[in-house]
Amino acid sequence: MPTNPLDEQALADRHDRREFLKLSALAGLAAATGAGAAGCAALSPRLGAAPEAPLTSKPLERVRVGIVGVGGMGCVHVSNLMNMPNVEVTAVCDIVPGKIEYVQDWLTKAGKPKPAGYSRGPRDFERMCQTEELDIVYNATPWEWHVPVCVAAMKNGKHTAVEVPASYTLDGCWELVETAEKHARHCIMLENCNYDRNELMILNMVRQGVLGEVLHGECGYLHDLRSIKFSKDGEGLWRREHSKRRNGNLYPTHGLGPVAQCMNINRGDRLDYLVSMSSPSRGLQHWQQEQLADDDPRRSERYVLGDVNLTLIRTALEKTLYVVHDTNLPRPYSRILMVQGTRGLAQGWPGPARVHIEGRSPAHQWENLDKYAAEFEHPLWKKKETAEAKAGHGGMDYLESARIVKCLMEGLPMDMDVYDAAMMSAICELTEKSVANRSRPVDVPDFTRGRWKTRSPLGIVDA
């Protein structure tokens, strides 16, 4: 995949864009500190009972895709989708015309049809959703636009797949659920970490009972993002704004997604309540003083996001999860990925991934997870296409889209649905509420409205 050029002409309006995103962020953050709980209470009763069966749709002969936001992750999705059979990237939308032109040129040079372009301002995705014949809209925009783009797609008869988190407010989570049910459209959160190799191998072990009954999970997103947050391009244009107003777990899904699948959350169990606390905020302040020029206006910014946020969650079946968020301090990357059962446990980070299985492993000793790959490698990671995938995190982004395309073409339920998107994303505002109230317990809404008791756990899927 070629490097996406941020040439000067295409980004001549960078300042205006940055100001627009800043204002959008502030507006969204103001909403997040408002009536989130009230919105939850108001929307939930109106929905009534959730559908009894998982959502399926009519099988498709080909999948026509529109993509909103063709920056870093948007281009990863383009790269994966354009090389899948029976998939066509039909339309692209971005507020920077130069990015659309880049993607159009990229696809035509690869012998693909030129996608329609939409760049008439920040809400031109609505025109795209209204006028284009699309089966699914991929949403790789800043967080403030996740819900509006998804809602526009579903209201116009399109399925939608959105980057993480799907929403950072409870109101937004309920709106996604309500819209998906009303229009009978898939709303999938693109949690790529669910498809990473170690995560799927551990899920396979769990499904085969090797670890016994899973009782506890530990996970998180521990990633030094200081340089990204202060970048003048990409996520730096908007992500740092959230650190000024929000204090909680701003990015829970990369760690929580795979562990929640192992623990059958929303499919036999559900998250019941949580408590959360944050450390002081120091890391971004140190960075701005040590790395920025004396006349850089960002040196005067102030941040409230605690450098480390810790959250404990209890499930309806009295099982436990530990979730951590740590993006402002120097550290190697980790998602922890620990799944503990009555017969053993597995842990993915720090590598190499390791496992201890009672009766198979030496007493009180770890073994390398790869020792069990011949027996428990997930079928998706045995695919030649996965091993050869070039775009996005070593194959997991490819698998994520491959599964979506397969389910759409065969009329199958999705691996993750709108209830999973809402459940994981709700952790954002719920942790903020707990932190702001001396770590008092906060209930987690049941977005399935009781259906978690009868929904089947995700099996060992293929593509």
**Residues 51-70 pLDDT 10s:** 999 999 999 999 999 999 99
Looking at residue 359, what is its pLDDT? 97
For residues 335 and 410, what is the distance between their CA atoms, to the nearest angstrom? 33
- Top pLDDT among 274 and 387 is at 274
Looking at residue 25, what is its pLDDT? 44
* Mean pLDDT, the chain, whole residue set: 91
Looking at residue 46, what is its pLDDT? 67
Note the pLDDT tens digit of each residue in 207-225: 999 999 999 999 999 999 9
Q: Are strands 308-315 and 159-162 parallel, antiparallel or unpaired?
A: unpaired
Segments in 263-383 forming alpha helices (H): 283-291, 373-376
Does residue 439 register a pLDDT over 50? yes
* Closest-CA residue to 380 (of 355, 407, 392, 398): 398
CA–CA distances in Å: residue 53 to residues 257, 302, 419, 455 = 22, 48, 13, 8
Write out the two tokens for 139. 């949403």
Region 397-425: mean pLDDT is: 97
Q: Residue holding tokens 């952790």?
A: 427
> What share of the chain in percent tops pLDDT 90?
86
Going by pLDDT thresholds of 50, 70 and 90, the confidence category of residue 186 is very high
Looking at residue 389, what is its pLDDT? 74
Looking at residue 118, what is its pLDDT? 98
Going by pLDDT thresholds of 50, 70 and 90, the confidence category of residue 36 is very low
Does residue 10 register a pLDDT over 80? no
